[in-house]
């Protein structure tokens, strides 16, 4: 069923902008008129499919993971209640708040109504539904367990959002402190120090080294601030460009794994993502080789991605999943040991779930620990900067008092 966006004026003369879901533009105009709105403009909206792949942390293109997760859970509930997919999608079009998701759902409903499977219809919107979502839905349709698969997808996306929010929450305080400290230092160096410098230089007395350094920094920021900004932009641009290259990305990701505390956190996040995604896919009936290909594309660290690719090749040749993971050195011994036990016992999916849940708890603990480390470091840095300025100003002031 098409979706139309319209602009009009209500009886009070207030401008109204909204969307309406009806069979045709004629029906849309009639319904708008019945609402007492004078129509100014109306046009049909089309959901645009794109070729870019999605990410496990963001389903992209104006649709939040929260909205998608809620829609997925509602769709699972409707299908479980024996409502046809076409009717369920039509019902969701009227319920969701996101205009973009509403357009996508309308497009899905039309394609399914024309005979396409839900999985094939989803594949036309890869920025909204990533490869995990599409493959799991296709597996659910093939096995007749679509409602179960959709519920797992909702749980999976909610878990990823929870992890992302924890990381954002942990970094909020240090980032705010850093921005505030940077702004405070600039105000002092640009507006306060120049006035003090005039007083000190008027005495024609030799200034301490710390004061000279402080005045030099102040002069540089006052007169050459543009050069500093240009340098920062240039360095950031060149660094990002280098990291985007295969060699630079490999070195950057290798450095990430070696940084104290942060390196362990990166490993834990990647291991948790590997286990939770692989376990969810296998549980939903997706073949293991397809699952490993999907998981590989969702792991950001190239070294751990390479280990998963080698594991996929190993499995395709009839060997074990575990050996390449052990050889990479990036997967903790406990993880590889439990995966090996799962392979031998035929209980790989439950074992992966146990590992992912365990590592999610460890990630939460590590994030809390990282926050507790960053906060005192920021305080020490700010305290050191303030102390530097205070000593640079106080020492010459004491000398002036001696002259009096």
**Residue 234, pLDDT above cutoff 90:** yes
Residue 59 falls within a domain, yes or no?
no
Q: What is the pLDDT of residue 182?
A: 86
CA distances from residue 119 to 79, 108, 179 in whole angstroms, order as listed: 15, 10, 45
Sign for the CA dihedral angle at 110, 112, 114, 116 comes to: positive
Which pLDDT score is estimated for 135?
82
Q: Which residue has the higher pLDDT, 28 or 91?
A: 91
Q: Please name the residue that has the structure tokens 């390196």.
A: 263
Higher pLDDT, 161 or 46: 161
Whether the pLDDT of residue 59 is over 70: the answer is no
Residue 173 and residue 154 share a domain: no
258/380 same-domain check = yes
**Structure confidence by residue, pLDDT tens digits, 247-301:** 999 999 999 888 887 888 888 888 988 998 888 888 878 888 888 988 887 788 8
Quote the tokens at residue 25.
């533009």
Domain boundary among 159, 193, 225: 159
Is the distance from CB of 163 to CB of 360 less than 8 angstroms?
yes
pLDDT at 54: 39
Residue 11 falls in which region: left (phi positive, over 0), alpha (psi -120 to 50) or beta: alpha
Q: Which residue has the higher pLDDT, 391 or 367?
A: 391
The number of domains in the chain is 3
Question: Residue 57 falls within a domain, yes or no?
Answer: no
Answer yes or no: is 303 within a domain: yes
Residue 308, Cβ density class (10 Å: 0-12 exposed, 13-18 middle, ≥19 buried)? buried
CATH of the domain at 292: 1.20.81.30
pLDDT for the residue numbered 46: 59
108-128: per-residue pLDDT in tens? 988 898 899 998 999 988 888
234 lies in the same domain as 301: yes
191 within a domain of the structure (yes/no): yes
Q: pLDDT at position 310, please?
A: 93
- Considering the domain boundaries, does residue 298 fall inside one? yes
- Residues 262 and 143 both lie in one domain: no
Q: Tell whether 252 and 297 lie within a shared domain.
A: yes
Residue 58 confidence (pLDDT): 38
Given 138, 159, 180, the domain boundary residue is 159
Could you tell me if 143 and 73 are in contact, meaning their C-beta atoms sit under 8 angstroms apart?
no
Distance, first Cα to last Cα, the chain: 88
- Tell me the range of 125-139, 237-251, 295-309, 381-395 where mean pLDDT is highest: 237-251
pLDDT for the residue numbered 338:
93
- Co-location of 86 and 109 in the same domain: yes
Stronger pLDDT, 305 or 400, i.e. the higher one = 305
The predicted pLDDT at position 165 comes to 81
Q: What is the pLDDT of residue 404?
A: 52
Report how far residue 70's alpha carbon sits from residue 342's, in angstroms, rounded to the nearest whole number: 32
Q: Report the pLDDT averaged over residues 140-147.
A: 81
Of 156, 140, 154, 72, give the one whose Cα is nearest residue 284. Answer: 140
Q: What is the dihedral of CA 24, 26, 27, 30, to 10 degrees?
A: 160
Domain boundary among 128, 159, 190: 159
Assess contact for 272 and 352: CB atoms under 8 A: no
Rounded to an integer, the average pLDDT of 172-189 is 86
The verdict on 198 and 91 lying in the same domain is no
CB atoms inside a 10 Å sphere around CB 45? 17
Is the model's pLDDT at 102 over the cut of 90? no
pLDDT for the residue 401: 65
Query: Is the pLDDT confidence value at 1 over 60?
Result: no
Query: Has residue 398 got a pLDDT over 70?
Result: yes
Residues 76 and 186 in one domain: no
pLDDT at 353 over 60: yes
Is pLDDT of 163 > 80?
Answer: no
Residue 14 lies in domain? 3-45
Across residues 24-47, what is the average pLDDT?
Answer: 76
For residues 127 and 215, membership in a common domain is answered with no
How far is residue 197's CA from residue 186's CA, in Å, rounded to a whole number? 16
* Domain assignment of residue 164, yes or no: no
Output the pLDDT for position 2: 63
316 inside domain: yes
Nearest of 51, 49, 25 to residue 39 by alpha carbon:
25
Residue 53 lies in a domain: no
Is pLDDT above 90 for 195?
no
Segment 240-248 shows an average pLDDT of: 92
Q: What is the pLDDT of residues 222-231, one digit of tens each?
A: 888 899 899 9
3-state secondary structure the chain: CCEEEEEEECCCCCEEEEEEECCCHHHHHHHHHHCCCEEEEEEEECCCCCCCCCCCCCCCCCCCHHHHHHHHHHHHHHHHCCCCHHHHHHHHHHHCCCHHHHHHHHHHHHHHHCCCCHHHHHCCCCCCCCHHHHHHHHHHHHHCCHHHHHHHHHHHHHHHHHHHHHHHHHHHHHHHHHHHHHHHHHHHHHHHHHHHHHHHHHCCCCCCHHHHHHHHHHHHHHHCHHHHHHHHHHHHHHHHHHHHCHHHHHHHHHHHHHCCCHHHHHHHHHHHHHHHHHHHHHHCCCCHHHHHHHHHHHCCCHHHHHHHHHHHHHHHCCCCCHHHHHHHCCCCHHHHHHHHHHHHHCCHHHHHHHHHHHHHHHHHHHHHHHHHHHHHHHHHHHHHHHHHHHHHHHHHHHHHHHHC
Same domain, 28 and 74: no
> Is there a single domain that holds both residue 177 and residue 154?
no
Separation of alpha carbons 401 and 397, rounded Å: 6
Chain-wide mean pLDDT for the chain?
83
Residues 255 and 222 in one domain: yes
Going by their DSSP bridges, the two strands 38-45 and 15-21 should be labelled as: unpaired
pLDDT digits (tens, 9 = 90+) for 38-53: 877 877 765 554 433 3
The predicted pLDDT at position 53 comes to: 38
Percent of the chain past pLDDT 70, that is, above it, reads: 92
Which residues have a Cβ under 8 Å from the Cβ of 90 and sit 6 or more positions away?
1, 109
- Percentage of residues in the chain with pLDDT exceeding 90? 20
């Amino acid at each position: 069923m098409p979706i139309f966006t319209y602009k009009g004026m209500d009886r009070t003369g207030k401008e109204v902008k909204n969307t309406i879901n009806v069979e045709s533009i004629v029906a849309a105009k009639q319904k708008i008129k019945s609402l007492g709105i004078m129509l100014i403009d109306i046009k049909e909206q089309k959901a645009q499919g794109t070729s870019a792949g999605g990410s496990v942390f963001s389903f992209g293109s104006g649709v939040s993971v929260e909205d998608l997760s809620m829609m997925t859970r509602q769709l699972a509930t409707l299908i479980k209640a024996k409502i046809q997919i076409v009717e369920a999608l039509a019902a969701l079009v009227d319920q969701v708040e996101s205009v973009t998701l509403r357009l996508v759902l309308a497009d899905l409903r039309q394609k399914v109504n024309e005979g396409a499977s839900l999985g094939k219809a989803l594949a036309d919107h890869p920025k909204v539904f990533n490869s995990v979502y599409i493959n799991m839905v296709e597996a659910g349709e093939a096995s007749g367990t679509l409602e179960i698969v959709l519920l797992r997808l909702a749980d999976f996306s909610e878990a990823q959002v929870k992890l992302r929010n924890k990381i954002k929450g942990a970094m909020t305080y240090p980032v705010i402190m850093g921005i505030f400290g940077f702004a405070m230092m600039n105000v002092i160096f640009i507006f306060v120090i120049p006035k003090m410098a005039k007083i000190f230089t008027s005495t024609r007395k030799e200034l301490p080294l710390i004061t000279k350094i402080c005045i030099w920094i102040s002069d540089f920021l006052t007169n050459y601030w543009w050069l500093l900004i240009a340098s920062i932009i240039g360095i950031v641009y060149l660094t990002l460009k280098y990291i985007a290259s295969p060699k630079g990305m490999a070195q950057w990701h290798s450095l990430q794994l070696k940084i104290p505390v942060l390196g362990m956190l990166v490993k834990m996040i990647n291991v948790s993502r590997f286990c939770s995604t692989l376990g969810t896919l296998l549980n939903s009936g997706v073949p293991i080789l397809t699952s490993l290909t999907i998981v590989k594309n969702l792991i950001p660290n190239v070294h751990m991605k390479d280990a998963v690719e080698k594991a996929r090749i190993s499995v395709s040749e009839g060997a074990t999943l575990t050996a390449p993971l052990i050889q990479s050195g990036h997967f903790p011994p406990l993880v590889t040991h439990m995966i090996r036990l799962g392979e031998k016992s035929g209980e790989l999916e439950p074992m992966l779930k146990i590992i992912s849940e365990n590592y999610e708890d460890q990630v939460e603990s590590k994030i809390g620990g990282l926050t507790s480390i960053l906060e005192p470091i920021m305080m020490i840095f700010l305290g050191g900067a303030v102390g530097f300025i205070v000593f640079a100003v106080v020492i010459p002031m004491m000398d002036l008092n001696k002259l009096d």
